[in-house]
């Protein structure tokens, strides 16, 4: 599948960031755009070895392998770490988020993008008995974790990050059917609130590490 630049994620990355780590950087399109936009160095981590060549042409440094194996070995600290559609692929995303605290500066930022499982098409299909994995999208067959905005922000909070900004990505899939919204009202769910949240395809967050936080493992 041809990769495209996530403009919303690009926009939320602070233009003051000088040292950037992009995990799951794909072909390096985001890092390349950041280097054109601002004075920065971009290090990429990517598990797909086929991406090594294009990455070497676009980024300052390329590390191929599992993020959880690479991150603890890094000695440099970064003032922005990007996780674009990464955490939903991990069995234990909290382990990576905690590990990243060791390589992010005290004033650094974490920029992330995650799919929204509360999208109306997923719930509508589930109520009709369908939960069908696909080659891409919210029900990508490689996804191991699923989040709503609330559950994702709880994950960030539990791993020592506070959200300071948030954006939404919408796709042209239409809106939830009116009869669906009416049915939800009948069981006490706020139709307008659901209609708003269920139109979001992906959430983009900007967070910062908390100064005072104790790891659950401590």
Give 25-37 pLDDT, tens digit per residue.
988 999 999 999 9
Mapping DSSP to helix (H, G, I), strand (E, B) and coil, where does residue 217 land? coil
Q: Is the pLDDT assigned to residue 147 strictly greater than 90?
A: yes
Q: What average pLDDT does range 62-87 have in this prediction?
A: 94
Task: Give the tens place of pLDDT for each residue, 108-130.
Answer: 999 999 999 999 889 888 888 99
pLDDT of residue 129: 93
For the CA atoms of 9, 155, 199, 119, what is the dihedral angle to 10 degrees?
A: 120
Adjacent-strand bridge partners of 161: 209
Strand extents, DSSP E, 71-126:
78-84, 104-115
Q: Which residues of 178-206 are buried (b: 16+ CB within 10 A; e: fewer)?
A: eebbeebeeeeeebeebbebbbbbbbbbb
User: Can you tell me the distance from the alpha carbon of 75 to that of 54, in angstroms, rounded to the nearest whole number?
Assistant: 25
Tokens of 212: 């005072």
Closest CA to 167 of 21, 11, 14, 5: 11
What is the C-alpha separation between 84 and 25, in angstroms, rounded?
7
pLDDT confidence bin for 187, thresholds 50/70/90: low
pLDDT one-digit tens code per residue, 76-99: 899 999 999 999 999 999 999 999
Cα gap 64→27, rounded to integer Å = 12
* Residue 50: C-alpha distances to residues 27, 81, 138, 174 (Å): 9, 23, 24, 35
- Lookup: tokens for 65: 């392998």
Distance CA(82)–CA(9), nearest Å, equals 9
pLDDT of residue 214: 81
pLDDT at residue number 52: 75
All structural domains of the chain with their residue ranges: 7-115+145-171+201-209
pLDDT at residue 207 is higher than 80: yes
Q: At residue 150, does pLDDT exceed 70?
A: yes
Superfamily, domain 7-115+145-171+201-209: Vaccinia Virus protein VP39 (3.40.50.150)
């Amino acid at each position: 599948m041809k990769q495209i630049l996530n403009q919303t994620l690009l926009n939320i990355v602070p233009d003051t960031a000088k040292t950037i780590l992009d995990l799951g950087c794909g072909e390096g399109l985001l890092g390349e755009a950041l280097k054109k936009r601002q004075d920065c160095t971009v290090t990429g981590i990517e598990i797909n070895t086929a991406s090594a060549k294009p990455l070497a042409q676009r980024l300052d440094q390329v590390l191929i392998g599992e993020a959880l194996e690479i991150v603890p070995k890094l000695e440099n600290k970064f003032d922005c770490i990007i996780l674009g559609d990464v955490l939903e692929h991990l069995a234990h995303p909290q382990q990576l988020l905690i590990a990243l605290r060791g390589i992010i500066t005290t004033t650094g930022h974490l920029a992330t993008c995650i799919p929204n499982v509360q999208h109306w098409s997923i719930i509508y299909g589930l109520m009709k008995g369908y939960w069908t994995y696909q080659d891409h999208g919210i029900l990508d067959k490689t996804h191991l974790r699923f989040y709503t905005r609330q559950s994702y922000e709880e994950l960030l909070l539990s791993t020592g990050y506070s959200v300071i900004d948030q954006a939404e990505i919408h796709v042209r899939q239409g809106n939830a059917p009116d009869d669906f919204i009416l049915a939800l009202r009948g069981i006490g769910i706020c139709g307008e609130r659901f209609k708003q949240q269920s139109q979001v395809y992906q959430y983009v967050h900007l967070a910062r590490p908390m100064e005072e936080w104790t790891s659950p493992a401590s």
